[in-house]
């Protein structure tokens, strides 16, 4: 590698690296902060400043940074057999073992794994597979997909359209994606005034059923949902919501796709959340992020045996699967997945999260005392704070105020990284967070919110 100074890196970065989700004007002016090294629950910038990582990279570095177990597993596999193609009858040891391990850890008959390179590609592939499935069943009209406003499912052409976050759509198109429909998010904080949580749940389930009837059950293939919406602002659905949505899917012959890219692999103290926390077993489960603890890109769409039997049936016309990625089942990535699972089991991380998670949320609830904090919510190590200009009326700040971004900057100054999304701050720390780390996070957040409150309210 050529020799460089930090100033060189910043300049080259501005000149050549198109970053995801970037405001070009401020990016060109301010450039990036370089994450130079990372260890445990901390990252270090180019000046050696230390920050508590409140977001595990991007909801993914669940085991924390610099884990020897992961580094060794990756190095060993890279030295043994780094890559060979997965097409047809060719496999590698980690890919086969990880698929079997996932089949054991996931609920119901989710036994068949298709590997991808991340969450977007797994969701995208799942939609293609769902269409393929109904073609094979001789139901070529059953193609429509119902997703939710405020959902995040990815950045490929199809998954960007599944995504229901308005702010991701500026200047982009959705040509040919009119098979994708959206219903309301399950947003308890923003439910109609005076409506109970139970009545809100009835209302959402009814909206779903009405939409299926309006589109025609013979035309609707699947419903896709995150157990807890992440990028939408950590929206926890009302009690019973997912189970009832799943029952509606069963009633009308829709498949249920659970996007567990964030919620699986310990973030909610379980290998996956759908059955363990919400009492339903999806037909397809989407994994990424925590699957390798973010050390190497890997995603997976995991299919039920009932689904697999249809796509793999030699009786169906065209008994072949004609799709796949060069890096499906990449040996090094799958070795990282196996090491992640082994480390989580050995260290009892799910059990740890079941203790530290509720304590984290409870500590964060102290922030409700601030005038600009409208809502503190979440589950386990997936939490969100919604900022408001008027707490009683639940009125948001004007988008130009950048309320959560101001809190993010004030936190960063004080050595904590949080993630701002519109008026929401999300937190998803490494699962190795201790109660002390939780207290430190809340302390810094408190100081940061105090520091910016008056300016935000005056804006």
State the residues that interact with ligand PMP by CB under 6 A. Answer: 118-120, 123, 152-154, 226, 230-231, 259, 261-262, 288, 299
Residue 42's SS3 state is: strand
Smallest separation, CB 37 to ligand PMP (Å):
23
Smallest separation, CB 101 to ligand PMP (Å):
20
Between residues 37 and 155, which has the closer beta carbon with respect to ligand PMP? 155
For residue 110, CA distances in Å to 18, 114, 133, 288, 409 come to 37, 11, 16, 16, 42
Smallest separation, CB 343 to ligand PMP (Å):
21
User: Do 451 and 410 contact (CB within 8 A), yes or no?
Assistant: yes
User: Do 242 and 268 contact (CB within 8 A), yes or no?
Assistant: no
Smallest separation, CB 400 to ligand PMP (Å):
25
* Cα–Cα distance for residue pair 64/428, rounded to 1 Å: 12
Between residues 119 and 420, which has the closer beta carbon with respect to ligand PMP? 119
Between residues 259 and 270, which has the closer beta carbon with respect to ligand PMP? 259
| Helix %, strand %, coil % of the chain (to 5) | 45, 15, 40
Rounded (10°) CA dihedral 141, 147, 153, 157 = 50
Say how far residue 221 (Cα) sits from the centre of its chain.
Answer: 23
Between residues 62 and 123, which has the closer beta carbon with respect to ligand PMP? 123
Between residues 74 and 382, which has the closer beta carbon with respect to ligand PMP? 382
* Cα–Cα distance for residue pair 343/8, rounded to 1 Å: 38
Between residues 118 and 357, which has the closer beta carbon with respect to ligand PMP? 118
Smallest separation, CB 135 to ligand PMP (Å):
25
Bridge partners (DSSP) of residue 424 are: 386, 421
Smallest separation, CB 260 to ligand PMP (Å):
8
Smallest separation, CB 131 to ligand PMP (Å):
19
Query: Which residues, 6+ apart, have CB-to-CB distance to 149 below 8 Å?
Result: 164, 182, 183, 184, 185
Between residues 262 and 373, which has the closer beta carbon with respect to ligand PMP? 262
User: Do 118 and 129 contact (CB within 8 A), yes or no?
Assistant: no
Between residues 94 and 294, which has the closer beta carbon with respect to ligand PMP? 294
CB-based burial, 219-238: b 16+ in 10 Å, e otherwise:
ebbbbbbbbbbbbbbbbbbb
Determine the Cα angle at 86 with ends 83 and 92, to 5°: 60
* Cα–Cα distance for residue pair 222/147, rounded to 1 Å: 9
Query: Which residues, 6+ apart, have CB-to-CB distance to 297 below 8 Å?
Result: 117, 118, 288, 333
Smallest separation, CB 287 to ligand PMP (Å):
10
Between residues 271 and 397, which has the closer beta carbon with respect to ligand PMP? 271
Using Cβ positions, the residue closest to ligand PMP within the complex turns out to be 119
Smallest separation, CB 192 to ligand PMP (Å):
26
């Amino acid at each position: 590698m050529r020799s460089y100074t930090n100033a060189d890196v910043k300049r080259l970065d501005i000149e050549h690296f198109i970053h995801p989700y970037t405001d070009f004007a401020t990016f060109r002016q301010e450039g990036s902060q370089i994450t130079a090294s990372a260890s445990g629950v901390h990252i270090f910038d180019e000046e050696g400043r230390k920050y508590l990582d409140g977001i595990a990279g991007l909801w993914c570095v669940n085991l924390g940074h610099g884990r020897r177990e992961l580094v060794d597993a990756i190095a060993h596999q890279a030295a043994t057999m780094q890559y060979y193609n997965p097409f047809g009858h060719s496999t590698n040891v980690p890919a086969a073992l990880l698929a079997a391990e996932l089949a054991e850890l996931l609920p119901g008959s989710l036994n068949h794994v298709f590997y991808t390179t991340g969450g977007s590609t797994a969701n995208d592939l799942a939609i293609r597979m769902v269409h393929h499935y109904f073609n094979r069943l001789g139901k070529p009209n059953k193609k429509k997909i119902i997703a939710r406003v405020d959902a995040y499912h990815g950045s490929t052409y199809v998954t960007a359209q599944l995504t229901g976050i308005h702010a991701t759509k500026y200047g982009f198109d959705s040509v040919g994606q009119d098979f994708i429909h959206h219903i309301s998010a399950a947003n308890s904080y923003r439910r109609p005034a005076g409506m109970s949580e139970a009545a809100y749940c009835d209302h959402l389930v009814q909206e779903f059923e009405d939409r299926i009837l309006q589109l025609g059950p013979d035309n609707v293939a699947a419903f896709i949902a995150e157990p807890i919406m992440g990028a939408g602002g950590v929206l926890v659905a009302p009690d019973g919501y997912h189970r009832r949505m799943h029952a509606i899917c069963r009633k009308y012959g829709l498949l249920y796709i659970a996007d567990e890219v964030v919620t699986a692999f310990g973030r909610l103290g379980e290998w996956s959340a759908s059955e363990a926390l919400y009492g339903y077993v999806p037909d397809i489960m989407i994994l990424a992020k925590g699957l390798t603890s973010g050390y190497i890109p890997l995603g997976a769409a995991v299919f039920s045996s009932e689904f697999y039997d249809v796509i793999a049936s030699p009786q169906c016309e065209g008994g072949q699967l004609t799709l796949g990625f060069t890096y499906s089942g990449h040996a090094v990535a799958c070795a990282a997945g196996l090491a992640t699972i082994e480390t989580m089991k050995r260290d009892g991380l799910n059990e740890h999260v079941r203790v530290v998670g509720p304590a984290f949320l409870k500590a964060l609830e102290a922030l409700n005392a601030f005038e600009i904090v409208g809502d503190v919510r979440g589950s386990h190590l997936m939490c969100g704070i919604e900022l408001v200009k008027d707490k009683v009326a639940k009125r948001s700040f004007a988008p130009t105020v950048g309320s959560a971004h101001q809190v993010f900057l004030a936190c960063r100054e004080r050595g904590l990284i949080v993630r701002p999304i519109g008026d929401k701050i999300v937190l998803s720390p490494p699962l190795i967070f201790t109660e002390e780390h939780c207290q430190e996070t809340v302390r810094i957040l408190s100081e940061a919110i105090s520091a910016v409150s008056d300016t935000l309210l005056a804006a």
